[in-house]
Chain A
Amino acid sequence: MGWFGETMDSVKSIQIRQALSQALTLGLIVTSALIIWKGLICMTGSESPVVVVLSESMEPGFARGDILFLHMSEDPIRAGEIVVFNVDGRDIPIVHRVIKVHERKDTGEVYVLTKGDNNEEDDRALYARGQHWLQRRHIMGRAVGFLPYVGWVTIIMTERPIIKYVLIGALGLLVITSKD
């Protein structure tokens, strides 16, 4: 009986240890992902340092599914730069190129007009009603770097949520069943 009890105890203790270490591994993965994301926000100064291109309005430069790296510095915004901006009353940020800039002498405030390379018309039709110019507060960042295709992962996941759950489930199962 003593021998059996000892064995049971050792088995139990191993399982608890294993469960704990697996929970730790899982926590480590989640926290390191969070650290990388927050670190990027800190370094680039933009609230969303990476965006996925969703529309064809910047073809052939940027295609749907490309990833853009944003940077938000104190440098003034100039014509030709590709900026990501939010319009009041729209949820999805837009990535377009600046074609006109007017910078005030006294306040330094900029008035910016944008256009998609692949669009015929400038963006006044996309702005809020009665809005003619974008200002600093609308702009989330400017695109500095570019990585093709990688964004398809997020596009597929948002359009087919089932794939997301299957993937998360499979990963979770892998972590739980892995032995070391």
Chain B
Amino acid sequence: MHSFGYRANALLTFAVTILALMCAMASICDNLNHPTPTSQVQVLNINWFQKQPNGNDEVSMTMNISADLQSLFTWNTKQVFVFLAAEYGTPKNSLNQISLWDGIIPTKEHAKFWIHTSNKYRFIDQGSNLRGKEFNFTLHWHVMPKTGKMFADKIVMSGYRLPQEYR
């Protein structure tokens, strides 16, 4: 009954149970945090705007993105993945989401940022619907915990209307 093997087994089982319980508690704790992030985006310039040979519209732009995501961080946060998406509807598609810029925020100290950038991923439509198209800038974030459940949310920001003509 009280052999070495049994004691080792009991100790291991107990240790793993406690560890699992602590992981679960750490993850549940995250629900108590009610973040209030803010962000702003400003289009500075349309660098070029054209129709590709295959008929899809493509646009390149320069933007200022600023955000304060410090309130997202808790003690169980490993990193926050943040990205800016252009969202719009077209006659063919009920929703188009195109990521324009993304970044990984490793610590709370880096969570209040300001960046001047052109779009990191190509802004290409499925078709030729971008002339005069108004789209929404949406800042999405995905909180990756040290362990447990992942959280995601977004802020929909002011829209922007693309020019009527290619340039």
- Spell out A's residues near B (CB within 8 Å): 60-62, 78-82, 97, 99-105, 108, 111, 117, 122, 143-148, 174
Other CB < 8 Å A-B pairs besides A60-B79, A61-B81, A143-B150, 13 of them? A60-B106, A61-B104, A61-B144, A62-B144, A80-B140, A100-B97, A101-B96, A102-B93, A102-B95, A103-B94, A111-B126, A146-B145, A147-B148
B149 within 8 A of A: yes
- Per CB-CB distance, the 9 closest pairs between chain A and chain B, nearest first, are A79-B97, A99-B99, A101-B97, A105-B94, A103-B95, A80-B140, A61-B144, A102-B126, A145-B149
Nearest-neighbour CB distance to chain B for A115, whole angstroms, equals: 8
Nearest-neighbour CB distance to chain A for B127, whole angstroms, equals: 9
Interchain CB contact (< 8 A) of B150 among A101, A108, A117, A145: A145
- Spell out B's residues near A (CB within 8 Å): 5, 23, 27, 78-79, 81, 83, 85, 91-99, 102, 104, 106, 121, 126, 140, 142, 144-150, 152
Q: How many A-B residue pairs have CB under 8 A?
A: 81
Question: In the complex the two chains form, is B81's CB within 8 Å of A97's CB?
Answer: yes
Give bound CA distance, A60 to B106, whole Å.
9
Give bound CA distance, A102 to B123, whole Å.
12
16 A–B contacts, CB within 8 A, in A order: A79-B85, A79-B99, A80-B85, A80-B142, A81-B142, A82-B142, A102-B95, A102-B97, A102-B126, A104-B93, A105-B92, A105-B93, A145-B148, A146-B147, A147-B148, A174-B5
